[in-house]
């Protein structure tokens, strides 16, 4: 009976199994995609990041967040990122001035800065950790991870202790994994015993990125499609995303324990994308051929 209660409790803590693997990092981007077609109608396509940033500063309330969204898309392309300090200074100033604006403006600006991979934005983004709006706060934490800003590690670690903010904790774990500072290893190991499965899985992935195998059992679970049968709220698309991430991390955390799982996946998984991914890693990383 106690085991049943434990399982029920565990399921109740997870609305969507792989929430942390792809929803947190991309939740705001997905939200933006909902409005994608509306944006295309309402905002004229601009040719440069500078023009979009100018619209964020002087545009109407609706146009500002739309322009910030489009700006973020441009900044994800290294070839389109403006050179020189002027644009970066204006970007930081605009972000600072967005505190009382529509939260979407600040959210998309943060993600845009993160997508550049430029640590220049780190200090400005650290202020976003304390934002009241959950989306802009999450965007700032995520962006700090994307630019691998190590000075933010201590502030992000504090979020791990906040049991009342599960989404922030998930975002923080992911960000710490992206930053890659080995000082967080002990903090992440403690999370392998967390009552929330999402936290455990993200911690195991983050540890693997740091070359630590403490979470290998969690990763092995994620390589087993039948494991997801324990979570009825998970659809096949979500399972695919989680398995793809788990497969990819076996390329970083090389261990022979992964081989039987990868072999089975490569031969039997119903999703050809997953099978192909497992097969490539078996060949390229584990020197295994069928």
The region that residue 131 occupies, defined by phi over 0 for left and psi between -120 and 50 for alpha, beta otherwise, is beta
Residues in the chain: 290
Cα(60)–Cα(279) distance, rounded to whole angstroms? 51
Number of separate domains in the chain: 1
Residue 98 lies inside a defined structural domain of this protein: yes
User: Which positions ≥6 away from 97 have C-beta within 8 Å?
Assistant: 57
pLDDT by position in tens, the chain (length 290): 434 344 444 444 444 444 555 555 555 555 555 444 444 444 444 469 999 999 999 999 889 999 999 999 999 999 999 988 999 999 999 999 999 999 999 999 999 999 999 999 999 999 999 999 999 999 999 999 999 999 999 999 999 988 768 899 999 999 999 999 999 999 999 999 998 888 999 999 999 999 999 999 999 999 999 999 988 887 899 899 999 999 999 999 999 999 999 999 999 999 999 999 999 999 999 988 76
Residue 65 lies inside a defined structural domain of this protein: yes
Containing structural domain, residue 32: 2-213
pLDDT value at residue 32: 53
pLDDT value at residue 28: 52
pLDDT value at residue 37: 45
Task: From residue 288, give the alpha-carbon distance in Å to each of 161, 279, 281.
Answer: 42, 9, 9
* CATH number for position 208: 1.25.10.10
221: tokens are: 């679970």
Question: Which pTM value belongs to this model?
Answer: 0.80
pLDDT value at residue 16: 42
Residue 275 lies inside a defined structural domain of this protein: no
User: Which positions ≥6 away from 186 have C-beta within 8 Å?
Assistant: none
Residue 248 lies inside a defined structural domain of this protein: no
Could you give the 3-state DSSP secondary structure of residue 117? coil
pLDDT value at residue 162: 81
pLDDT value at residue 44: 46
Residue 50 lies inside a defined structural domain of this protein: yes
Cα(219)–Cα(206) distance, rounded to whole angstroms? 11
């Amino acid at each position: 009976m106690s085991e049943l209660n434990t399982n029920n409790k565990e399921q109740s803590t997870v609305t969507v199994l792989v929430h942390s693997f792809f929803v947190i990092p991309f939740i705001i981007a997905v939200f933006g995609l909902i409005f994608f077609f509306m944006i295309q109608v309402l905002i004229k396509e601009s040719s440069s990041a500078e023009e979009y940033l100018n619209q964020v500063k002087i545009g109407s309330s609706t146009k500002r967040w739309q322009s910030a969204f489009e700006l973020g898309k441009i900044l994800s392309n290294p070839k389109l990122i403006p050179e020189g300090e002027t644009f970066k200074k204006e970007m930081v100033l605009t972000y600072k001035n967005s505190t009382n604006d529509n939260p979407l403006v600040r959210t998309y600006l943060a993600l845009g800065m993160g997508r550049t991979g430029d640590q220049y934005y780190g200090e400005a983004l650290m202020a976003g950790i304390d934002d009241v709006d959950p989306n802009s706060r999450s965007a700032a934490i995520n962006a700090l991870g994307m630019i691998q800003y190590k000075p933010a590690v201590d502030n992000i670690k504090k979020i791990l202790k906040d049991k009342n903010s599960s989404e922030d904790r998930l975002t923080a774990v992911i960000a710490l994994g992206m930053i890659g500072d080995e000082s967080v290893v002990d903090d992440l190991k403690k999370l392998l015993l967390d009552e929330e499965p999402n936290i455990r899985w993200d911690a195991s992935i983050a540890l693997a990125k740091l070359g630590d195998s403490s979470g290998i059992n969690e990763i092995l679970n994620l390589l087993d499609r039948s494991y997801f049968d324990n979570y009825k709220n998970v659809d096949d698309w979500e399972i695919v995303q989680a398995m793809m991430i788990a497969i990819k991390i076996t390329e970083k955390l090389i261990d022979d324990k992964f081989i039987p799982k990868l072999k089975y996946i490569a031969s039997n998984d119903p999703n050809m994308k997953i099978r192909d991914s497992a097969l490539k890693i078996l060949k390229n990383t584990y020197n295994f051929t069928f």
